[in-house]
């Protein structure tokens, strides 16, 4: 199996992310599956940024610890990543910015001078050298640039890349796989596409890493996708606007991270009481508080499970790759409307900002659920008591009678009540919706199994750690069991997926084992924890090492 790792690093503000995506584009062009990890501090200029692009014949979702090729735009790239460099790592570097590297220097200053090229073309020289060293034809780079570089800069970038290519000889050959390439997208982008697929009318958000790029993506494509995009004064307004939009019939989603979600919880609880649908894409990063803004964590599971005062049902899904992200962003929106509840798509920086090969046709059928609308046969009552607990929706002005939504405990029409029976009855109606939701969850593919199905050792994880776990588990002949849906918890599916496992190890990007805690709450044992809480996702190798220690 062909499997390559290429790292490119340099200073913030030098387009490392774009260069990483170009490398991903090159591999895609050759027919590879790609995963790109982008590491950047929370600053705009200076600092050290790097991207690790891994390409393989099979689908992947995690990086490796060492590189086949290292593209060094500054000395930090060598000094900080000595661990990533093997004896056979091919190092290509900028002659003057990197003083001690060995490998293959490219005199970028001179190339730019002679080609009369602007500084922003620097990375093109290195990308040209990369292609040449890896035996990748110039037509491939031309094609990739042709799609990503603005027309008026295309020629100069290609000239600079050509000169970079001339500076280095072929030292290895990355073969084309002769199959059509799939596009590389980030989790944020695919969440946006999934929401649109699910019927999104309006998107409301206040910027916060790691989901700001979801806001940017939908704002940038608002016209093509036909979505209204609003950026209000804060997350409190975001949530409240979303509820107003939904009250009037707009399918609405929002995105944020932990801090912003804190501000949204009062509105979340209002959604619970007023039974107003809303979908939240919640991107986790290390906390508490501001934490580490541009790094990753899975520390907000129990916050998402419990946010908001009072008792009301909610749907929480944690996609593990882009295909699940696409299907379940749509599904979350659709379920939030069926049950008139908040839906949370719980992701993290790894998945939201990581680049992955996206195969829309592998996403499977999109989970679609019907919204129950008022049929006009009897006078409208917003909170009509029904067997399912679902009160059909109607939107003003077409409702025949007033639509009265309420944050107070209310009667069927929507008038405030403090009547004991009325309060209890309405609480029961709301909780009856949870029963239907649970049935829908159990009949969806809510738990995924990979690896050796009858293995005694079960590695359990959630969200973005899917890729690393599946690969690492192969080395131990273990099975990997992962809940895609976290609330309501698919206990029946979990029971059968873990049947016969005598050792359960939870792998999580947090410090206390939050999935493990959830499993124990549902009566499922967890024997060991393999946790990582330094802001970085597990690489396949690191995780395999940790599992070896645990398994013994």
Q: What is the SS3 string spanning 294-308?
A: CCCCCCCHHHHHHCC
CA 367 – CA 329 distance, rounded (Å):
9
* Burial degree of 32 (CB within 10 A; 0-12, 13-18, 19+): buried
Q: CB–CB of 125/159 below 8 Å?
A: no
Examine residue 379 and tell whether it contacts other proteins (CB under 8 A): yes
- State whether residue 233 is helix, strand or coil: coil
- Pick out residues in 218-257 that bind other proteins (CB under 8 A): 221-222, 224-228, 230, 232-234, 236-238, 240-250, 252
User: Per-residue contact track with other proteins, 254 to 293, x per CB under 8 A?
Assistant: ------------xx--x---x-------------------
C-beta of 171 vs 409, nearer to other proteins? 409
Examine residue 308 and tell whether it contacts other proteins (CB under 8 A): no
User: How far are the Cα atoms of 164, 244, 393, 400 from residue 381, in angstroms, in the given order?
Assistant: 70, 18, 9, 10
The least CB distance from residue 147 to other proteins, in Å, is: 7
- Pick out residues in 162-181 that bind other proteins (CB under 8 A): 181
Instruction: State the helix-helix crossing angle for 122-133 and 138-148, rounded to 10 degrees.
Output: 150
Q: Tell me how many residues contact other proteins (CB under 8 A).
A: 67
Examine residue 294 and tell whether it contacts other proteins (CB under 8 A): no
CA 530 – CA 460 distance, rounded (Å):
10
The least CB distance from residue 379 to other proteins, in Å, is: 6
Examine residue 426 and tell whether it contacts other proteins (CB under 8 A): no
Residues 6+ apart with CB under 8 A from 354: 35, 36, 37, 38, 186, 187, 464
Question: Of 115, 142, 166, 201, which lies in the binding site for other proteins, with binding defined by CB under 8 A?
Answer: 201
Question: Of 120, 292, 413, 550, which lies in the binding site for other proteins, with binding defined by CB under 8 A?
Answer: 413
User: Per-residue contact track with other proteins, 328 to 367, x per CB under 8 A?
Assistant: ------------------------------x-x-------
The least CB distance from residue 63 to other proteins, in Å, is: 21
CA 38 – CA 22 distance, rounded (Å):
13
The least CB distance from residue 469 to other proteins, in Å, is: 27
Beta strands in 457-510 (DSSP E): 457-460, 479-483, 485-487, 503-508
C-beta of 47 vs 146, nearer to other proteins? 146
Examine residue 196 and tell whether it contacts other proteins (CB under 8 A): yes
- Pick out residues in 36-95 that bind other proteins (CB under 8 A): none
Examine residue 28 and tell whether it contacts other proteins (CB under 8 A): yes
Please identify which residue in the block is written with the tokens 């016209």. 223
Tokens of 61: 């979702």
C-beta of 246 vs 304, nearer to other proteins? 246
Question: Of 47, 135, 137, 199, which lies in the binding site for other proteins, with binding defined by CB under 8 A?
Answer: 199
Examine residue 96 and tell whether it contacts other proteins (CB under 8 A): no
The least CB distance from residue 363 to other proteins, in Å, is: 10
Q: Could you give the count of Cα atoms lying within 13 Å of 105 in the half-sphere of its Cβ? A: 12
Residues 6+ apart with CB under 8 A from 212: 205
- Alpha-carbon torsion (340, 198, 402, 232), positive or negative: positive
Residues that bind other proteins (CB under 8 A): 28, 147, 181-185, 193, 196-199, 201-202, 204, 221-222, 224-228, 230, 232-234, 236-238, 240-250, 252, 266-267, 270, 274, 358, 360, 379, 395-408, 410, 413-416
């Amino acid at each position: 199996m062909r499997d390559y790792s290429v790292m490119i690093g340099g200073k913030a503000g030098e387009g490392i992310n774009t260069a990483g995506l170009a490398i991903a584009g090159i591999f895609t062009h050759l027919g590879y599956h790609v995963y790109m990890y982008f590491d950047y501090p929370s600053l705009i200029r200076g600092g050290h940024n790097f991207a690790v692009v891994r390409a393989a014949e099979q689908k992947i979702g995690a990086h490796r610890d060492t590189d086949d090729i290292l593209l060094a735009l500054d000395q930090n790239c060598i000094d900080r990543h000595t661990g990533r460099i093997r004896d056979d790592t091919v190092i290509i570097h900028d002659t003057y910015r990197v003083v001690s590297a060995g490998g293959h220097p490219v005199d970028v200053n001179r190339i730019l001078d002679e080609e009369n090229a602007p500084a922003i073309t620097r990375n093109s020289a290195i990308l040209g050298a990369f292609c040449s060293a890896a035996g990748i034809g110039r037509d491939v780079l031309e094609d990739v640039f042709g799609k990503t570089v603005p027309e008026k800069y295309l020629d100069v970038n290609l000239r600079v890349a050509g000169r970079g290519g001339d500076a280095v000889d072929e030292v290895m050959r990355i073969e084309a796989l002769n199959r059509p390439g799939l596009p590389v997208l980030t989790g944020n982008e695919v969440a946006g596409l999934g929401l649109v697929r699910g019927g999104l009318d309006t998107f409301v958000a206040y910027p916060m890493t790691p989901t700001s790029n979801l806001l940017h993506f939908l704002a940038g494509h608002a016209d093509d996708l036909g979505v209204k995009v609003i950026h209000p004064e804060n997350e409190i307004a975001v949530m409240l606007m979303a509820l107003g939009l939904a009250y009037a019939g707009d399918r609405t989603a929002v995105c944020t991270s932990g801090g912003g979600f804190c501000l949204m919880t009062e509105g979340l609880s209002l959604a619970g009481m007023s039974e107003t649908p809303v979908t939240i894409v919640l991107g986790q990063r290390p906390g508490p508080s501001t934490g580490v803004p541009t790094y990753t964590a899975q520390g907000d599971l129990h916050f998402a499970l419990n946010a908001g005062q009072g008792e009301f049902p909610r749907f929480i899904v944690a996609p593990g790759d882009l295909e699940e992200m696409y299907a379940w962003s749509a599904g979350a929106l659709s379920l939030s409307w069926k049950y008139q509840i908040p839906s949370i798509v719980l992701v993290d920086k790894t998945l939201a900002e990581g680049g992955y090969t996206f195969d829309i046709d592998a996403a499977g059928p999109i989970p679609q659920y019907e919204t129950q609308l008022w049929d006009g046969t009897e006078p409208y009552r917003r909170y009509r008591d029904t067997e399912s607990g679902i009160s059909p929706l109607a939107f003003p002005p077409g409702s025949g009678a007033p639509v009265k939504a309420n944050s107070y405990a209310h009667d069927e029409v929507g008038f405030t009540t403090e009547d004991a029976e009325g309060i209890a009855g309405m609480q029961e109606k709301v909780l009856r919706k949870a029963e239907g939701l649970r049935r829908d969850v159990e009949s969806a593919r809510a738990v995924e199994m990979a690896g050796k199905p009858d293995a005694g050792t079960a590695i359990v994880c959630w969200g973005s750690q899917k890729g690393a776990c599946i690969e690492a588990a192969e080395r131990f002949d273990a099975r990997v069991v992962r809940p895609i849906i976290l609330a309501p918890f698919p206990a029946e599916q979990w029971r059968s997926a873990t049947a016969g496992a005598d050792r359960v190890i939870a792998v999580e990007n947090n410090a206390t084992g939050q999935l493990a805690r959830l499993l124990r709450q549902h009566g499922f044992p967890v024997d060991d924890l393999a946790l990582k809480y330094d802001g970085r996702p597990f690489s396949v190798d690191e995780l395999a090492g940790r599992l070896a220690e645990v398994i013994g």
